[in-house]
Structures are given as structure tokens and as C-alpha cells.
Amino acid sequence: MRYPMEPIFEVKYKDMMGRIGLLRTSRHELETPTLLPVVNPSKLIISAKELYEEFGVQALITNAYLVRKFLYREAIKSGIHGLLKYKGLIVTDSGAYQILKYGGIDAKQREIVEFQEAIHTDVGIILDIPTGSELDENRARFTVEETIRRADEAVRLRRSDDIIWMGPVQGGTHLDLLGYSAREMSKRPYPILALGSPTVIMERYQYEALVDMIATTKMNIPPSRPLHLFGAGHPSMMSFAVALGCDLFDSAAYALFAYEGRYMTEDGTLKLQDMEYLPCSCPVCSKNTANELRRLEPGERARRIARHNLWTSLSEVKRIKQAIQEGRLWELLERRSRAHPALQDALLALGRHNEYIERHSPSDKPHGILYFGRSSIVRPEIMRFRRRLRKCFGSCVGLRSIMFITYPWGRLPKRLSKKANITLRKYNDRYVGKISETVFVPSLGPIPTELLEAYPAGKIMMPSDLDVETLDDTIRFSRDILRRKGHVLVIADGSTQAKGILERSRWLRMMMVMHPYKKTEEQRLNKGT
């Protein structure tokens, strides 16, 4: 019996493309985004029972091919849950990773599908052909077409209606093939889709390419389908995967790194041999010192590091969820992007897809936005506001403008000089009924006074000393909007920030009339002291 295509995913909160959702299977409910630790029953560094009872892990992934090869009788007798002694949701991979690593396996798709049904897995995966880091387009096309063929074959082989099947999307860095694969898999009865072949990309720190791969996949699948990312192991990049729309991701890195003495943090990886302190308060780090861990025998040392690595990874998932709930996922990305240049490249690469991200991001949030600099220009809220602002100005035929450049940003001047008042009165008399007062707000542009309290204009915090990229970008945007509306009157105060804006634009200086205050900001400060 084929698994019926019915809604199994409910979204609770959204920010960017990231979402907190509820995934329902026939036996479990799972909140996403979720990290699925990889468990090898033949080499347990942390048992599945410990994962469930001590770490609170509600879902894990294991390899059906390896279980079939080494633990066939026990798995058939006890089922996969009994074999692992695990009460949560279990996803079984098909052995495709072994195909990617070794070039093939000694099993057919029919055998893998039938075995997954026999051991009563919760989520099964077909035996696809991974593209990996394949650069040859013809070979990459073969992996895509063969995976689609096998997806159709697996539908005919399925008999159980208790298993949800995951459909892999292949194509690697060939984005046209990746988009085609995503569209074709979306047409087939696979309630969960999975982006394959990112492991090598991530091992090489090619996070910019990974951004394009995830974004291309998301743009070609229905929003109702949860997306799994294979092998997304390190906590430093999990927030990027979630921000682009990944709901599930698996990791064996917590264990593999531990065997090598590599200690995970949310910003990167440290080598235990070089550490004097353990910068963490998890149960492992609060009871051990770095020197004590080094003195342990290798097996016990690896076990404890693996436990720390898993705590770190799970904590990052919770941190991501809280950021989504608060509407601060972008701020989390900016913090993570400072950890490695490749992550900074990934953040900037989001700008290539900002139109799609912005279209699916919430239009309002309970909190204001924090603006840090150049990388914040392409955040969805700013792009949406600019697009709407451009449209708003375009509908005002014959508009004349007064633009105030004042600090603090987004504030109207409280007092004008006598000369400034006379100039404004003449300007109003000349263009009666055709004048719009605007305020220059860095990153957003010339904001009509009526919109100063609208989101995000009224809820944006930024440093007083802004980077030149932000200032130049906002000046260009302001000029493009206001130039089409005829005469513009620019009035700036005497603050250092306003002077800096004027110095960067000949166009603004030409429009400049006078600053509105009788005394400059510096003069008032000196008087106050």
C-alpha cells in the first residue's frame, strides 16, 4: 500500500525561510527544526537510549544498509526501535552515503525498501545515487535521472502505510539540474524531501555554494514539504541552513570529531590538545577540565567529547528556535558569520536570494531590528520596506520633497532657525499641497514622516558611526527616489553624523539650504559641560 499524500507538517512560527513546525507521523510528533544524531549500532559512542533519556533527543537517523549487513536477524526480530532500545522517531538511510564514499554497495533498491518496512522504521529513504561534488555535468545529470527513476520504482515497491518516505533531491552544485530534480521529486508521493550531496561541500567550507544549493531547492518545492539536509553537522552553520528553509538535518560530526579529539563550539572547532580551559557549562565541561580529559584513555575521552559536542549542537538548535520565535534569526546569522570568512561569504550570498526570502518572511515582528552594518543591508525587512517605499513614491505625481538629515536618525528637528522657517514657508507657499516631508534614515532611505513609526522605520537600532557602504547605498537609493520628483530641499543639522552624510554626496550638498538649529550640536554640548 502506498503512503497517502496528506498534510503532516504544521508551521507555528516563521522568520526568514526558517520555521518552527510540527511534523506528525503515524506514531510520533516532532517539533522542527530538529537535529538527528547519526547512530551506528555497530559502533555506539552514545547509545540511543541515552540520547532519548539524557539528552532529550526525539529523533535520530541510522543506516538501514549497515543494519541489514551486520545485524539483520536482530533487526528483523526486534524491529529497529527494539534493536536500538529507542522510543523516539527513527529515520533510516538507505546506504547512499556508502555509494558516494565507496562507489557502490552489495544491495538492491528492492532489498533496502523491503528491509526498512520489515524493521518498522518511521521514515524511510530510497536508495538514490548521490551527485556529491561531481563536476562533470553529464555524470551529474545521470545521478539526477537515476534517482528520479528509483523514486518511481520505490513507490511501486512500497507496501506499508505506516512509513513516511523521504525523497532525495540531487544535482550538487549544478543548480539547473538541482532545480529540475526538486521539481520532479515534488510531483511524487514523498511527504519529506531531502537535499543530498552537501557533505563534501561543507567539508571544504564552500558555504556560499551550499547557500545556493539550499535556496535553489527551496524555490522549487512546495512550502508544505519539510526539507531535510543530509550531513549538516557543525553548529556554526546550522542557523544558515534553517534560515534558508531546512527543517531537519542529521549529523555524525559529534562522534567523528570526538574520535579525533576535536571540541565543538557554536563558532568553530578547537583541538583538545591545545586547550587550557573548557568554554562551556554542559554536564561534561562542568565536571572536567581540559587536562583531565587529556589524561583519560582514548575510548572514554572520545565518549566525553562526543557528549559535549552533542550538547553544543542541541543547544544551538534551541538557540535558533528562540531566534525564530523572537524574529531575530538574521541577528543570529550575523553573529555566526563573524566566526569564519566562509560564513561571512554565506551571509553575503543570501543577498542573491533576498527577493525570494523577503517574499516568504513575516511582514511584521514583535521586536525591532538591530542594524550592524554592510551585511544588514540585504536583510528581508529592509528590502521589503525599500520596495514598498519606492512604490509609494512612484504613486505621488508631482511631489516636491523636503528631506531632513538629523541625528539621532529618524527624528524630525525640534527647532528651526528663523531663516530656515522663512525658507520653508516660501517653499510651502510655492508648492502648496504637493510637498512631502521626509527624514533620511541610513539603510532605509528617505522616510515620509507619516511612516516614521511604521515597522521597521520606527523599530531600528543602529550605531552612530556607520560604515561607508551603508551610507553610500542609502544616499544612492534616496537620490534615485527623490530625483524623479522635481525639486528637493535638503536641511541638515549640525551633528557630526549629518555632516558626514553631506560630505559623501555632491548631490545632497547642491540641494542643501541650511542646517535648522541656531547652534550646532558641538556648541550645545560645550555649553552643557
Averaged pLDDT for residues 470-492: 82
Q: Could you tell me the pLDDT band of residue 122, with boundaries at 50, 70 and 90? A: very high
Q: Could you tell me the pLDDT band of residue 528, with boundaries at 50, 70 and 90? A: very low
Type and span of the H or E element at 20? strand 18-24
Going by C-alpha positions, the residue among 432, 456, 452 that lies closest to residue 440 is 452
Using the predicted structure, report yes or no on whether residue 455 has a pLDDT greater than 90: no
Averaged pLDDT for residues 290-297: 96
Q: Which three cell numbers stand for residue 138?
A: 553529464
Q: What is the pLDDT of residues 163-186, one digit of tens each?
A: 999 999 999 999 999 999 999 999
Q: Could you tell me the pLDDT band of residue 258, with boundaries at 50, 70 and 90? A: very high
Cβ-Cβ contacts under 8 Å for 239 (sequence gap 6 or more): 316, 319, 320, 323, 329, 332, 333, 336
Q: What pLDDT is recorded for position 513? A: 61
Cβ-Cβ contacts under 8 Å for 226 (sequence gap 6 or more): 9, 21, 23, 32, 191, 192, 193, 247, 248
Look at residue 68 and give its three-state secondary structure: helix
- 93, 128, 212, 493: the catalytic one is 93
Return residue ranges of the chain for CATH 3.20.20.105. Answer: 9-257+268-356
Measured from the Cβ of residue 152, the count of other Cβ atoms closer than 10 Å reads 11
Q: SS3 sequence, 442-485?
A: CCCEEEEHHHCCCCCHHHEECCCCCCHHHHHHHHHHHHHHHHHH
Q: Which three cell numbers stand for residue 246?
A: 531546512
Selection from 202-216, 305-319, 420-434, 509-523 with the highest mean pLDDT: 305-319
Q: Which has the minimum average pLDDT: 26-35, 385-394, 422-431?
A: 422-431
Q: Which fold has domain 389-528?
A: Rossmann fold (3.40.50)
Q: How far apart are CA 406 and CA 423, in angstroms?
A: 18
Going by C-alpha positions, the residue among 118, 107, 183 that lies closest to residue 151 is 183
93 a catalytic residue: yes
Residue entry with cell 541610513? 442
Q: Could you tell me the pLDDT band of residue 404, with boundaries at 50, 70 and 90? A: confident
Return residue ranges of the chain for CATH 3.40.50. Answer: 389-528
Q: What pLDDT is recorded for position 225? A: 94
Q: What pLDDT is recorded for position 524? A: 44
Q: What pLDDT is recorded for position 7? A: 47
Averaged pLDDT for residues 55-76: 95
Q: What is the pLDDT of residues 380-398, one digit of tens each?
A: 889 999 988 888 776 654 5
Rounded to 5°, angle at Cα 456 from 450 and 459: 95
- Cβ(209)–Cβ(173) below 8 Å: yes
CATH class of the domain at 9-257+268-356: alpha beta
- Cβ(379)–Cβ(372) below 8 Å: no
Q: What pLDDT is recorded for position 186? A: 96
pTM (predicted TM-score):
0.89
How is residue 488 annotated by DSSP?
E
Residue 465's identity, in one-letter code, is D
